[in-house]
Structure 1
Amino acid sequence: MRIILLRHGQSLGNVDELAYCRIPDHALPLTELGEQQARAAGATIRELIGTGPVAAYVSPYKRTRRTFDLLGVRAERVVHEPRLREQDWGNLQDPTEQEMLKHQRHAFGHFFFRLPNGESGADVDDRLAAFIDRLEVRLNEDEAHPKTVLIVSHGLTIRLLCRRLFDWSIELFESLSNVDTCENRVLDHDGTGWKLDRPFDQWRDSPDGTVQHQV
């Protein structure tokens, strides 16, 4: 079994943080570069999928759906899965409050800090746990479900999904960086557990001394 994780291409919010103040997060489009990144990533993703069937689970946000469309992947199943959405920061954001909250979140810790009218990392972790549980049931018990899965999602969401699958500590999670736009990670199941093809970049050693699972 294989799970391919892909972050969306560069979006307007990645180059203009004030875009979140005038456009709902779910409606932010890809930039021109983001569209180019998604098209370029298509060949790599199709090679990782191989010749067998694939099921695609895609965050319903505009930038993730557009990224998937530009990959040129023919999936047997395509599910726009709300549990794979970005961490919710509330509705349209105030620029002054947005900057203040980012500083508070960094000092408090990204996992437990709850955004006003939004989610904490722990909230995202909870909804991903439900998604992973259901996905593993489908992979193990539904013979019609493809054994290769493509997930197109967001940086924090992908990091938390791996935290859940590998039971990483919260300290380790908070020490890791998001993958770049249109960067992938591949998880293969060897019959005993999931293996990660390569680690996430790490901006500090985990305070509790734990490390990432690797092949």
Structure 2
Amino acid sequence: MRIILLRHAESLGNVDELAYCRIPDHALPLTPRGVQQARAIAPRMRRLLEPGPVAAYVSPYLRTRQTFELMELGHLIERIVPEPRLREQDWGNLQDPVDQERQKQERHAFGHFFFRLAHGESGADVDDRVAGFLTELERRVDNDPAHPKNVVIVSHGLTMRLLCRRLFNWSIELFESLSNPPTCDFRVLERDSTGRWHMDRPFTQWRESPDGETQITQVA
């Protein structure tokens, strides 16, 4: 089994935080640069996924759907599943910029995993839903002969880190020491014949983990 984790291309929210005041998070589109990023990564995605078939699980947010569609992987994709559990951490509905900045500062001091946003989720909430998704995905691949062994997941930065935290049993301290991947960046996860998972490369760390744990690129 192999999973390609891909973060969406650059969206309006990545370059204009005030966009969240007038457009719901789920409806933020890609920027022109984001469109270019998605088209530019397409040949590499095709090489990674060929010859197929591939199952695609895509966050239902507009920016993730646009990223997936622009890559034009149709000839490789056997099934496409819109998966709400892969959505971005929920910050609430239309957001007030002053309150948003205050919450970001409090979240940084408190810790990104347990801090609950006033009208949204904590990182722990996202962790719970991605855990359920991973369990179901592995069950589908193992028990359904028709389900492709190659999977592409188009999601969001924090969601990608939490998917890996669950899969590799990282500590919360290590998770909070990792940076989100850049837009349109990806990780390749492979499960070998012994059931061990491997990741092609680690995430960038902005500090050492306080508990001394390091990223593990394989797990039983």
TM-score range normalised by the length of the shorter chain: over 0.9
Q: Does 1:214 align with 2:217?
A: yes
Instruction: Give 2:31's aligned amino acid.
Output: T
* Partner of residue 38, structure 2: 38
* Partner of residue 103, structure 1: 105
TM norm structure 1 = 0.99
Q: Does 1:199 align with 2:206?
A: no
Contact map agreement 2:197 2:217 (CA 8 A) in 1: no
Across the aligned residues of Structure 1 and Structure 2, the Cα RMSD in angstroms comes to 0.7
Cα drift, residue 31 of structure 1: 0.1
Equivalent of 1:86 in 85, 88, 101: 88
Paired with 1:52 and 1:5, the residues of 2 have a C-alpha distance of 16
* Partner of residue 8, structure 1: 8
Q: Secondary structure at the match of 2:18?
A: helix
* Partner of residue 188, structure 2: 186
Per-residue CA shift, 1:12-64, capped at 9, x if unaligned?
00000010111000000000000000001111111111202000000000000
Runs ≥4 residues deviating over 3 A: none
Paired with 1:52 and 1:16, the residues of 2 have a C-alpha distance of 37
Contact map agreement 2:91 2:119 (CA 8 A) in 1: yes
Q: Secondary structure at the match of 2:6?
A: strand
Equivalent of 1:165 in 160, 164, 167: 167
Q: Which moved more, 1:189-198 or 1:168-177?
A: 189-198
Any unmatched runs of 5+ in structure 2? none
* Partner of residue 128, structure 1: 130
* Partner of residue 175, structure 1: 177
Cα drift, residue 117 of structure 1: 1.4
* Partner of residue 25, structure 1: 25
Cα drift, residue 213 of structure 1: 1.4
Paired with 1:95 and 1:196, the residues of 2 have a C-alpha distance of 37
Per-residue CA shift, 1:53-95, capped at 9, x if unaligned?
0000000000000000001112100011000000000000001
* Partner of residue 149, structure 1: 151
* Partner of residue 64, structure 2: 64
- Percent identical pairs in the alignment equals 70
Contact map agreement 2:181 2:203 (CA 8 A) in 1: yes
Cα drift, residue 214 of structure 1: 2.3
Number of residues paired by the alignment?
215
Cα drift, residue 206 of structure 1: 0.4
Contact map agreement 2:168 2:217 (CA 8 A) in 1: no
Cα drift, residue 101 of structure 1: 0.3
